Structure 1
Amino acid sequence: MDARTRLLVVDDDASVRSLLREYLEGHGYSVGEAATGAEMREQIEHELPDAVLLDIRLPGEDGLVLARYLREHYEVGIIMVTASGDLVDRVVGLELGADDYIAKPFDLRELLARLKSVLRRLQVKPSPEGKEQAAAGQEQQPAQQQQQPRRQRFGRCEIDVESRRMFEVGGEEVTITAMEYDLLTTFLANPNRVLSRDQLLLRTRNREWEPFDRSIDIRIGRLRRKIEPDPNGEPRCIRTVRNAGYMFIPNTS
């Protein structure tokens, strides 16, 4: 494990922070702690972590407010930690852009597996330095030799597969999360093919679907609002196949 991989555990329970720190440091991570939202912000200003393990039930600003803040300002992995019965909180957390969630009481091995999955998805994204170098390289080329970024049409948007960004056709950039990008590219690689929830989770999160797990359905709903020609109408681009899964229909406008 790369010792530079830094995590931040945000939980008001000192015993939970201590447990996670000891366990995760034993697996080669650098781990910081925060008991409140204010402490989290202070830690992030000092050093930006690769991922944040974020408890929802916090004094003052709760984890949902902090998840929104993180997603709007930083490119970090976010794993929400929820009470076992708080289904609504899980749904809202995913809607706000969290990469995954795990319920208390959790198994440390499962948490580690989910964390590794989130980090793997983030590691393939180009770094800010890489983007700057690529831009500088393009500036040095004659205009006629510059190539347009490789884009693929997806509903009313286009996916730039080189920069992992999405744009409205002929318009502005549309914000997407790492999970949403992985879903988009999975669909693009499998047009007109039914993909089950198991297949989608295995390809985007490296885990199988569990009964009552709505994370894929929630993400599909968010994507539809961004890419469907008529976000308020019947889905035409990502169609639901009853009792089977979802299917991407290309060339939909």
Structure 2
Amino acid sequence: MHATVLIVDDEAVIRARLKGYFEKEGYKVLEAENGAEMWHQFERHAIDLIMLDINLPDCDGLSLARELRSRSHVGIILVTGRDETIDKIVGLEMGADDYVTKPFELRELLVRVKNLLWRMSLVKLAEINTLKEMEESDDKICFENYILVLNSRQLKRDNTIIKLTKAEFELLAAFSLHPQQVLSRERLMQLTSHRNEGVHDRTIDVIIRRLRNKLETNLFVTVHGEGYLFAAKVKD
């Protein structure tokens, strides 16, 4: 069964063109001509992906993208008539997953939609598998002088709790469940669920750098051209 797509654009001709094309491809398509209608549709339907025009009459599309990302993991493709690179960069930083520039080819947009939904399905599957691994493993994972408590999401050292963000905990849990293995950045992204942070290759590098500082030891070995390896000996 195909996904539900919401088209947010103030031009009726564009909405009609996209709706007709994607419905022929088997998608359920909803429409909104402004930000208020977008939220109306969003709150009443299970939407998988939003095609969001940056230039809307009642609000800024970039601000809408940021608020959407703060509230959900919905896929966001920005649709813009602007060609400036800064708009594209800001859009991705606001939490959008992809963008297209008007005028666009419908087939290209369809491919982008399919690819984004496929990536989202991989992330969801990885989240489920990681949770299963955590549930099937013991509650505590020990390495070096540290104890990672999965159920309470805590990291302890000598009875002292080391505060971790959600992203840091998930990445450390992923490493501790796959010790002595080289994990690519793409694999690490699949094993974590913090899409709302606009996760990408550089995000993984930043989180690992933060973990290195908090753990006060370099257990994360950089394998150039491949990814990272968790060098600790793990005890369940």
Same fold at TM > 0.5: yes
Task: Work out which of the residue numbers 166, 170, 177 in structure 2 matches 1:174.
Answer: 166
> How many residue pairs are counted as aligned between the two chains?
189
Deviation string, structure 1 residues 164-215 (Cα, Å, up to 9, x no partner): xxx8965444359xxxxxxx9xxx9x9498x9xxxx7xxx9xxxxxxxxxxx
Aligned counterparts of 2:84 and 2:140: Cα–Cα separation in 1 = 42
How big is the alpha-carbon RMSD for the aligned residues of Structure 1 and Structure 2? 4.4
Distance 1:175 1:50, change over 3 A: farther
Other-structure match for 2:5: 7
> Is the Cα contact below 8 Å between 1:168 and 1:174 reproduced in 2?
no
SS of residue in 1 equivalent to 2:26: coil
Deviation string, structure 1 residues 214-238 (Cα, Å, up to 9, x no partner): xxxx93334433332389xxxx979
5+ residue gaps, structure 1, are 139-144, 151-157, 161-166, 177-183, 205-217
Deviation string, structure 1 residues 60-96 (Cα, Å, up to 9, x no partner): 2211111111111112111111225131111111112
Aligned counterparts of 1:75 and 1:149: Cα–Cα separation in 2 = 29
Structure 2 counterpart of 1:34, which letter?
Answer: A
Deviation string, structure 1 residues 25-69 (Cα, Å, up to 9, x no partner): 010011011111111001111113110001111122211111111
Q: Does 2:56 correspond to 1:77?
A: no
Structure 1 counterpart of 2:205, which letter?
Answer: R
Other-structure match for 2:88: 90
Distance 1:27 1:168, change over 3 A: farther
Q: Does 2:202 correspond to 1:221?
A: yes
Q: Indicate the percent of aligned positions where both proteins have the same amino acid.
A: 35
1:127 Cα deviation (Å)?
11
Give TM-score scaled by structure 2 length. Answer: 0.63
Aligned counterparts of 1:114 and 1:40: Cα–Cα separation in 2 = 21
> Is the Cα contact below 8 Å between 1:224 and 1:238 reproduced in 2?
no
Aligned counterparts of 2:126 and 2:34: Cα–Cα separation in 1 = 29
Which stretch shows the higher mean deviation, 94-103 or 81-90?
81-90
Which gives a bigger RCO, structure 1 or 2 (Cα 8 Å, sep 6+)? Answer: 2
1:20 Cα deviation (Å)?
0.4
SS of residue in 1 equivalent to 2:56: coil
SS of residue in 2 equivalent to 1:61: coil
Distance 1:48 1:225, change over 3 A: same
5+ residue gaps, structure 2, are 142-147, 156-161, 169-174, 191-198, 213-217
More helix by percentage: 2
Q: Does 2:227 correspond to 1:248?
A: yes
Give TM-score scaled by structure 1 length. Answer: 0.59
Structure 1 counterpart of 2:201, which letter?
Answer: I
Task: Work out which of the residue numbers 6, 21, 24 in structure 2 matches 1:23.
Answer: 21
Other-structure match for 1:211: none
